[in-house]
Amino acid sequence: MFFENVKIALRAIGANKMRSILTVLGVMIGVAAVIAVVSLVQGMQYQISSQLENIGGTFVRIVPDFSRSRGNPFLPIPQLTAEDAEAIVKSAPAVSAVTPVFLGQVSLKSGDTRHDTTLYAVNQSYPDIAHQYVDHGRFFTGLDEEAKKRVAVIGAEAARSLNLDDPVGKEIRVDNNHYTVVGVMEKRGAMLGNDPDDVIYIPFATAQVIYGPDQMKHLPILLQVRNREEIDLASDQVKEILRARHHLKKGEPNDFQINSQEEILKTFSKIMNTTTAIMGGVVGIALLVGGIGIMNIMLVSVTERTREIGVRKAIGARRYDVLLQFLIEAITLSGIGGCIGIAGGYGTAAGVRLLLKKWVEFPPVHTPLWAIVLAFTFCAILGVIFGIYPAAKASKLDPIEALRYE
């Protein structure tokens, strides 16, 4: 009986093609908008989450908490220094590796080619902490650090921008200083204007000599914990060490923030999920408009097919049968709009990504299964909600009056 009603519904929809298309247009646009938004946002979340997971679950970042002194000139600006990093190495048993990080914008030059990029001054532990290693060549060693050598490891995109096919062993200028390239980092891929391959790494000790101690007072510190089970222990040990070094009294808030990779991932996921929900809810209003259109056209259909309903009832159709027939027709109409909307939404998201790619590196479109299931379910519910009134109206018609209807 169900499949028979679906066939009747498809015949009724096919008999009025243009009217059916216009009816489901609102549903199509609504579903397409929701799928496009979800696909773009989830694609962004999927790629960033993958990159964060690649760093590993034992990664921890410490940064100065500038919010404590912002707007208050009487409070000192929070500091994190290389000495703090050394103290963590010596006194925190749960921590396996630590590096301070100095960031800066520099100009690279090789021959007549110039390129502006981001400078990272780190120590030899950085590859193990960030889980990013050299593709060919080598990373600098403890001996390079001790001797304060002017050696550099360059990102693949920075090397390409300098037209260096094989940079290892070549000399380049970083601002006004000469460095020998000893390695090229493995590629990670750009995203949203941030390119982790367009960077250059130099030894932290070398940066201290070149840029001076005044530039080394507000540093992020990256560290690797021995295992996941000791992340809380490591955080407590680091907190105790830094509070003692910064002379913070009991009850005073920390002047630094400790964020584990898992906390960063959870925070980011929460932000992206909230964004998806808000944007999906806003564009979902179009679905309600589409639902009203379905109810309107179903009421017209009931009026047009009054005699048909009368004949059905006269030969034994029950009220339930008529109700089910028109309800299935409304759900089918909504479902067709949903299917077209899902395909259109994915196509729209892919088109937007290609358009944005001209200006910024955008992650691939990712349409999760739950979004497709949710769209189908919502369309079915929409068909039920906005089809129930016309279906009920049809089922209540008196067969004798319906047969008299002209």
pLDDT at 190: 63
Residue 133 lies in a domain: yes
Closest CA to 257 of 78, 52, 56: 78
- 81 and 46 assigned to the same domain: no
The structure's pTM equals 0.66
- 23 and 155 assigned to the same domain: no
Q: How far is CA 379 from CA 117, 268, 318, 354, in A?
A: 49, 30, 27, 29
- Residue 54: pLDDT band (50, 70, 90) is low
Is residue 242 within 8 Å of residue 254, measured between CB atoms? yes
- Residue 87: pLDDT band (50, 70, 90) is very high
> Helix, strand, coil % (nearest 5) of the chain?
60, 15, 25
Residues 3-27: tens digit of each pLDDT:
776 777 777 777 777 877 877 787 8
Mean pLDDT is highest, among 1-10, 224-233, 377-386, for 224-233
Is residue 299 within 8 Å of residue 390, measured between CB atoms? yes
- 241 and 331 assigned to the same domain: no
- Residue ending a domain, choose from 206, 226, 259: 259
Determine the structural domain holding residue 111 and report its residue range. 59-259
Residue 264 lies in a domain: no
Residue 265 lies in a domain: no
Residues 323-347: tens digit of each pLDDT:
877 788 888 888 888 888 888 888 8
Closest CA to 234 of 225, 244, 222: 225
- 12 and 64 assigned to the same domain: no
Q: What is the mean pLDDT of residues 170-181?
A: 92
